[in-house]
Amino acid sequence: MAESQEKEQPRRRQARGERRIAQLLEAAASVFCTTGYTAASTNAIAREAGVSPGTLYQFFPNKEAIAIELGDRLMHEMRDTFGEALAPVDPATPLEEAVGAAVDRFIAFNCDHPVFFALMHGPDIPGHMAEEHDALHATLLARIEGLLSSLLPDARPVDLGRTAHMCLGLYKAGLELVLAHEGAERDAYVRELKNVLIRYLEPLAAGRPGPARDSGAEATGVR
């Protein structure tokens, strides 16, 4: 029962193999982006990578493993990009600044890796991948909750959880619109998304530091 979990890895990869794996993952990302996970065929992924179906199955036991490995690498890259820099926040940070920075980083990451959205958003997530999906979701929620609790120390835990869910949902909605546009229009949607989140959270942040709150519209960042 010592090493029964990880039963086998006598597989010594060569440099060529690692290259093929990266190539296949890149191809898979491309295909997943355009067709979604379920509609993506392994043959299409292999074709996109310029290899045969058999070669694909030399490196991945099944279709699901491709998506899982892709998800794992994205998660790692995500942590590397803004590791712990996102969760904790100085309680003195103005709300607008904290929200704006968080949104900018996430948007940048998602624009660089559109697969992430495709795998997250897809309603087609068979069996074992749902766990990965839920784990990521829970991680993000915990991060957001932590960030919110530092921004809104007065909120009750129950409300905080709900607020975190709302923020994540709102972000996903905004992300979809952002990804659907380009250039100046995309920037405008990013601006709108920030407005949504800031205005949603603002009334919850009573008696906090930052710019004096008045009733003016311009002061809340309409433009």
Partner DNA sequence: GACAAACGCGAGTGGTCGCTCGCATTCTGG
Partner DNA sequence: CCAGAATGCGAGCGACCACTCGCGTTTGTC
Phi–psi pair at 84, nearest 5 degrees: -85, 0
62 lines the binding site for DNA (CB under 7 A): yes
204 lines the binding site for a copy of itself (CB under 8 A): yes
Which sign does the torsion angle of CA 188, 108, 44, 50 carry?
A: positive
Nearest-approach distance from CB 35 to a copy of itself, in angstroms: 9
Q: What is the largest CA-CA distance in the chain?
A: 67
Q: Residue 133 or 213: which CB sits closer to a copy of itself?
A: 213
Question: Which tokens in the block code for residue 174?
Answer: 């905004």
64 lines the binding site for DNA (CB under 7 A): yes
165 lines the binding site for a copy of itself (CB under 8 A): yes
Q: Which does 10 bind (CB under 5 to 8 A by kind): DNA, a copy of itself, none?
A: DNA
For a copy of itself, which residue of 172, 179, 208, 210 counts as binding (CB under 8 A)? Answer: 172
What is the x/- site pattern for DNA, positions 28-57, by CB under 7 A? ------------xxxxx-----xxxxxx-x
Cα–Cα distances (Å) from 157 to 7, 136, 209, in that order, read 42, 21, 22
Please tell me the distance from the alpha carbon of residue 32 to that of residue 117, in angstroms, as a whole number.
Answer: 10
On whether the CB atoms of residues 126 and 38 are closer than 8 A, the answer is yes
Please tell me the distance from the alpha carbon of residue 222 to that of residue 168, in angstroms, as a whole number.
Answer: 22
Nearest-approach distance from CB 210 to a copy of itself, in angstroms: 13
What is the x/- site pattern for a copy of itself, positions 24-43, by CB under 8 A? ------------x-xx----
10 Å Cβ neighbour count for 50?
A: 10
On whether the CB atoms of residues 194 and 103 are closer than 8 A, the answer is yes
Cα–Cα distances (Å) from 126 to 59, 72, 117, 119, in that order, read 20, 17, 17, 11
For a copy of itself, which residue of 53, 88, 91, 169 counts as binding (CB under 8 A)? Answer: 169
Binding site for a copy of itself (CB under 8 A): 36, 38-39, 121-124, 162-163, 165-166, 169-170, 172-174, 176-177, 185, 188-189, 192-193, 195-196, 199-200, 202-204, 206, 213-215, 217, 220, 222
Binding site for DNA (CB under 7 A): 10-18, 20, 40-44, 50-55, 57-59, 61-64
